[in-house]
Structure 1
């Protein structure tokens, strides 16, 4: 019912695909402390993309992420968040699902494109997904994280 792998053999070792999986897992463990509530919430507010922050259309708005944590939209957008958000996840199931699909599909695309072009393509797909979300809801004060856009592009 659920795919564990594909049946397309590859000619090279999927170093970039494995590297991306390792980076995502390390971000989950080191930055987000494996989902510990305070670290997870802080990472969403500080390193996730907040469309209304990037566009300046939600400055000062507050979003309650948990009973203990409120994320307030800053007046100065953090321009690195479109990149950092691609490596963060909202929960361990979110991380597991994304890495599963990256493993299944990434190795074939990496083999076809080559390593350098694949990593560039992956990052561009992730940034394009962030851009699409910001354009579709430019005043949103809700943080956005995940590799789904990058992996969707790879698929």
Structure 2
């Protein structure tokens, strides 16, 4: 484990996620939070195109649908879900925040949230199961981390630049991992929003290099494939 730099934004995100979970746990409102603040594709479709889903038309939603991509990123299905996401956020987030600067890091995180919701909605615009968790935003951080800090980068493939090869390889690998995870947990009660993960990852791949261009990223003291 490398020595982790301080990360003001990373720490604030972790604290916010933990506090939201604690409030839900202590009050017993965890499920209510997920219903109100989770991202429902069907709810967004209803808002855009008129009511056509199986969701109750007269449900008094407290959180505007346009805010749910953000609110859903601070909600988690359980303690294990929260712990896994926060562990990755602390390790990867602090490294990226030190490399990109706090403002660019926040922009990357926000892009992961929007990218996750956008791809999830595009794949299944009538889904009636709410998506919750910071995994989409964290996927964007992972994409940027792998792209910026990998020392063994792919070479150019004919006229295709090495950077493009690297982006395509990472996107294919991440998509494959998520498809395999969906297959592994098929038929269980554990639902994984793989397209949200993929959407966040793609957002990270798209923004990583532009955000780092004005910086010299700090290279971690360990190697990545």
| Match status 1:42 vs 2:32 | yes
| Match status 1:21 vs 2:8 | no
Q: Which 10-residue stretch deviates more, 49-58 or 130-139?
A: 49-58
**Structure possessing the higher relative contact order (Cα contacts under 8 Å, 6 or more residues apart):** 1
| Match status 1:104 vs 2:97 | no
> Does the 8 Å CA contact 2:42/2:53 hold for their aligned counterparts?
no
SS in 2 for 1:97: helix
Q: How many residues were matched structurally?
A: 136
Find the structure with the greater CA-based Rg.
Answer: 2
Q: Deviations over 1:21-59 (max 9, x none)?
A: 0010011112x23583xx111111111000011012775
Quote the offset at 1:7 in angstroms: 1.9
Higher helix share: 2
Quote the offset at 1:144 in angstroms: 0.6
Is there any run of 5+ residues in structure 2 with no aligned partner, and where? Answer: 143-225
Indicate the RMSD between aligned Cα atoms, in angstroms.
Answer: 2.3
- TM-score w.r.t. the length of structure 2 is 0.55
- TM-score w.r.t. the length of structure 1 is 0.78
Distance 1:146 1:109 in 2: 20
